[in-house]
């Protein structure tokens, strides 16, 4: 029996879909059998980020309404044999499925997969309720901005009053230079407000945008800092203890090097 993890944030545009795709791929990279479920009905993106848009035949609504079997709707990833995706419908809206239907589908997927990652739509309405219905755990995404932290706080409150007890936090798009100059909230400030366990910190990285556009998750690119962060997060999900990446370490080593040669 696998584990279902919902990735949610409340606010839109903080990187739920990108993170779902990357953590899913990272887990597959570590040899796990993973299924990604897109619950953003009407505004599906996960297939685009994964580069699997042209392979979709059936979707979540078709499964829920019994128009096809579950394994007919699953789209196999082009890179990993053990990575699948269940796409959302694009022509319907969030009310097309009920939380019970989603829960049933997730339960079914948990029998075949070690990890079921549910990509939640923005907002706290029907789509959110659908997405969390079948989940055992939750990952809350936030960026170091007040608006995003506020929405994450709201979502954590909703999750804590649901069946999901202790959601984990990922802080996305942190810019070390801005944090240092005091223009961006730092991790401690975010954690102080939200007061939940930190699962990982993902640095702001242009490669993420590039990768998403080319339909290849960043995590495949070992040169990307965000990729390392996502791989670490995947390992933490598996239960490994991985220390937080020291984002200024590289720089300081370099500056020490410069100093040594009398350049700093």
Partner 1 sequence: MAVRASRYVTIKGIKDGLTFQFDDKCDFEELVNDLRFKLEHTHQNILTGPLVHVDIRTGEREMTEEQKDTLLDILSQKGNLLVRSFEEPPVPELEVIDRNAVKILTGMIRSGQVLHHEGPLLFLGDVNAGGTVTSTDDIYILGALRGMAHAGIDGNEDAVIAASFFSPTQLRIADRISRPPDDGENRESHMEFAYLQDGIMKIDKMANMARLGRDFNVFKGV
Q: Which residues bind partner 1 (CB under 8 A)?
A: 146, 150-151, 153-154, 156-158, 160, 192-193, 195
Q: For the CB of residue 187, give the shortest distance to partner 1 in the complex, in Å.
A: 17
Measured between alpha carbons, how far is residue 104 from residues 28, 130, 144, 235 in Å?
24, 11, 35, 28
What are the structure tokens assigned to 194, written together?
Answer: 């939200």
Identity of the residue, 178 or 220, whose beta carbon is nearer to partner 1 in the bound complex: 178
Residue 194 sits at φ, ψ, to 5 deg, of -80, -30
Identity of the residue, 188 or 248, whose beta carbon is nearer to partner 1 in the bound complex: 188
Q: For the CB of residue 160, give the shortest distance to partner 1 in the complex, in Å.
A: 8
Other CB atoms within 10 Å distance of the CB of residue 244: 12
Identity of the residue, 37 or 184, whose beta carbon is nearer to partner 1 in the bound complex: 184
Identity of the residue, 101 or 148, whose beta carbon is nearer to partner 1 in the bound complex: 148
DSSP assignment letter at 185: -
Measured between alpha carbons, how far is residue 71 from residues 8, 18, 110, 167 in Å?
25, 24, 13, 29
Closest alpha carbon to 151 in 161, 160, 140: 140
Identity of the residue, 168 or 235, whose beta carbon is nearer to partner 1 in the bound complex: 168
What are the structure tokens assigned to 22, written together?
Answer: 């990357």
Q: For the CB of residue 148, give the shortest distance to partner 1 in the complex, in Å.
A: 12
Q: For the CB of residue 175, give the shortest distance to partner 1 in the complex, in Å.
A: 20
Torsion of CA 47, 123, 35, 202, to 10 degrees: 80
Q: For the CB of residue 156, give the shortest distance to partner 1 in the complex, in Å.
A: 6
Backbone torsion region of residue 91, taken as left when φ is above 0, otherwise alpha when ψ lies between -120 and 50, otherwise beta: alpha
Q: For the CB of residue 128, give the shortest distance to partner 1 in the complex, in Å.
A: 13
Identity of the residue, 165 or 195, whose beta carbon is nearer to partner 1 in the bound complex: 195
Closest alpha carbon to 52 in 27, 31, 24, 29: 24
């Amino acid at each position: 029996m696998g584990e279902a993890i919902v990735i949610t944030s409340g606010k839109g545009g903080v990187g739920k879909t990108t993170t779902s795709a990357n953590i899913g791929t990272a887990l597959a990279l570590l040899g796990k059998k993973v299924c990604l479920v897109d619950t953003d009905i009407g505004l599906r993106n996960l297939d685009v980020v994964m580069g699997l848009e042209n392979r979709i035949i059936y979707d979540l609504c078709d499964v829920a309404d019994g128009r096809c079997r579950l394994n007919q709707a699953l789209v196999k990833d082009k890179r990993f044999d053990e990575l699948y995706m269940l796409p959302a419908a694009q022509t319907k809206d969030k009310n097309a499925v009920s939380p019970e239907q989603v829960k049933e589908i997730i339960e079914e997927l948990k029998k075949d997969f070690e990890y079921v990652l549910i990509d939640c739509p923005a907002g706290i309405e029907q789509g959110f309720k659908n997405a969390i219905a079948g989940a055992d755990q939750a990952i809350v995404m936030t960026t170091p901005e007040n608006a995003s932290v506020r929405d994450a706080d709201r979502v954590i409150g909703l999750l804590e009053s649901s069946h999901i007890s202790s959601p984990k936090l990922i802080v996305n798009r942190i810019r070390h230079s801005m944090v240092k100059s005091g223009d961006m909230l730092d991790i401690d400030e975010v954690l102080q407000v939200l007061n939940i366990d930190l699962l990982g910190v993902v640095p702001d990285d242009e490669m993420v945008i590039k990768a998403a556009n080319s339909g290849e998750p960043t995590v495949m690119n070992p040169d990307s800092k965000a990729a390392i962060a996502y791989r670490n997060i995947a390992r933490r999900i598996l239960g490994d203890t991985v220390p937080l990446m020291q984002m200024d370490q590289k720089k300081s080593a370099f500056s020490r090097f410069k100093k040594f040669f009398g350049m700093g």
